[in-house]
Every structure is written in C-alpha cells, then in structure tokens.
Amino acid sequence: MPRFMSLIRLDEQTSGRPGPEVEERMKALFEEITKAGVMLETAGLTPTSEGTRLTWSGGRLSATDGPFTETKEVVGGYAILQAKDKAEALEWARRFLQVHPEEWNITCEVRQIEEPPGA
C-alpha cells in the first residue's frame, strides 16, 4: 500500500496550544486511525524559535537561527500514513483538520512518498 506524508502548516503567531477538548478529540481520532492500521508515525514540531535553517546557495552554506518571522505559515507537525489510495489519505487529513478550533487557520498538505526502486 502506498504511503503518504501529511505536512501540517499553521500560522505560528495565531495558533496556540489546543485546549483539553481538542486534545480529547485528537486522541480519539489518533486511536481510530492507528487501529485502522493507517497511522505509521506522527509528531508535532517545536516552535521555529528553537529551529535553524540551513541554506545552500551559490556554492555557499549559511545558517539562520529562528524564529523565522518573515514566514507566515510554518510546518507545525507531520504524519506518515499508509492508505489504500490518496482519497483515503485525504479523508483522514480532513478529519484531522476538523478536530481543530474554527478560529485556527491550518493547512494539511498530503503527498505520496516515492518508494525506492524495487521496494
């Protein structure tokens, strides 16, 4: 079965920590998706203030420590899913987004993982 990566993008300035109600809904969804054998891995990421960007440009490597204030949306988490097809992966992503508060602006980008040749 194909694997998919979902990248959770959010506005770090306006999206706070989810409250207990949201955490309960998310816990129930994660239990369901894990029991279905779809969730392989998931995690949130620390704030950009704790990150570093490495850039290769013009034959030179540079490093920039966070926070990255010029960026409106950041990757706040990810999940690796194993689904029968993209439609199933998108359905789980829709359900994930819907557990969040209505006032949040959050995006989930779903992309299939390329498998190595012969896998």
Q: Where are the domains of the chain?
A: 3-112
- Could you tell me where the DSSP H helices lie in 1-119? 20-35, 86-98
The CATH homologous superfamily for domain 3-112 is: Dimeric alpha+beta barrel (3.30.70.1060)
Q: What's the pTM value of the predicted model, to 2 decimals?
A: 0.85
Q: What is the pLDDT of residues 71-115, one digit of tens each?
A: 677 898 999 999 999 999 999 999 999 998 888 889 999 999 998
Count CB atoms within 10 A of the CB of residue 100: 17
Triad 100, 106, 111: Cα angle to 5°: 110
The Cα 67–Cα 28 span in angstroms is 32
Q: What is the pLDDT of residues 11-68, one digit of tens each?
A: 877 666 778 898 999 999 999 999 999 999 999 999 888 999 999 999 999 999 988 7
